[in-house]
Amino acid sequence: MAIDFTLTPGQRELQLVSRKFARDVLSSARPAYEKLTTPEERFLATRPAYEAMVAAGFLRKCIPAPAGGENAGLIDMAIMAEELYSVNASITLTMLGTVLGLLPILIGGTPEQCGRLLEPFLKKSGAPLAGFCSSEPGGSANAASPPPGEGVRTTAKLHDDHWVINGRKKWVSSATGWDRKGADVLCVVCRTGAETRPETSVSIIAVERPTPGIAFERAIDAIGHRGHLTPQFGFENVRAPRRNLIGEEGGGLALSSASFTGTAALVGIFGVALMRAAFEFSLNFALTERRGGVHPIIEHQAVGYALADAKMKIEAARYLSWRACHAVDTQNPAADELAIQAKIYGSEMAVTVITDLMRIVGIDSYDNALPFGELLQDALALPIFDGGNMGIRRRQLHTMLKRREYDPLLASGAA
């Protein structure tokens, strides 16, 4: 098998179209929200740019062609995400968080469910939102914990032809929508059975807007992604039709895991995008600034070597993430392992590389007039969201390594 990282003509076009949109639309979106006080005010101010993103067809480009969209695979999403996220992480995360909210439907939904629930997201108009309601107050690293552990605490009970959902969720992208009444679709991880074993008692149920009972508690004032909404909220007797059970009853944990596999590889690309933005600024700075000396500072080995080290880490993270995306697209047996590795490596390198590049620029990098503060604040989320690297992702790799059948050459394709 040939190893080739050359983009197809279609992928190159997608890259250039995404880059142009980021430059023309997303680059000017931040001033609209950066000085606003509350998380909700900032989120609402991003709506025109998000609507422009939907109108330009980027949300459709994230939905697979068999489901009515235009996406040909995870590598295409990675190419697009890098261009958009490197310019405005907040608005891009709103779109990709919506895609995460739809993944349980795309992976486990019936044709009828896909046709009905995905319809608003296939249009090139409006500002549709979806959320994957997994995380709960008090943490969800042990969602699969059997009693006496609590595991998933949100419950859904069947009454006639409806599920009645009660519980609380937290850190779910855009979950309470533009008006606190809920996103267009929420895929809710909840306990549906009296059976105590999590692998047979946790399910995913789709909640469609409008429905009463979404109880807004607060919008989290996050360190980074300042234009993105992550609320804490509750379900108070929220009703969903019985037909909105996604996949098999009791299959929620497996479906959640499948949904987070692809997103793990994309988080690696998020790290690449932030590192890339920091590197481009730092390189230009080093080529033009003398800082009182005779020569541009790139002439100094300490600066040149630091830039070289950063560039190597960026390229390594990008190609590991592409490899993981390709494995997911081709249903390679090593897909889970590669996706988790890409997530951990790309996210942790982002924090390290941006910090190292700040040292090149010096004290001016601490000025918010320069991009480093925002980039670092956004990067800090990457190791701890979408399955924290310590609480979840390394545990998943550890579990793989303990299996008797584990083959250390599988991920390299040399098994």
CB 341 within 8 A of CB 397: yes
CA distance 334 to 413: 8
Which of 24, 367, 386, 407 is an active site residue?
A: 386
- Side chain identity at 205, as an amino acid letter? I
Helical segments of 31-138, H only: 39-45, 47-55, 74-85, 89-108, 111-117
- Side chain identity at 323, as an amino acid letter? R
386 catalytic residue (yes or no)? yes
Output the 3-class SS for 249-305: CCCHHHHHHHHHHHHHHHHHHHHHHHHHHHHHHHHHHHHHCCCCCCCCHHHCHHHHH
CA distance 119 to 8: 29
For residue 170, what is the enclosing H or E element? strand 162-170
CA distance 385 to 233: 18
Phi, psi of 172 (to 5 degrees): -95, 115
Which pair of tokens denotes residue 253?
């944990």
What are the catalytic residues? 386
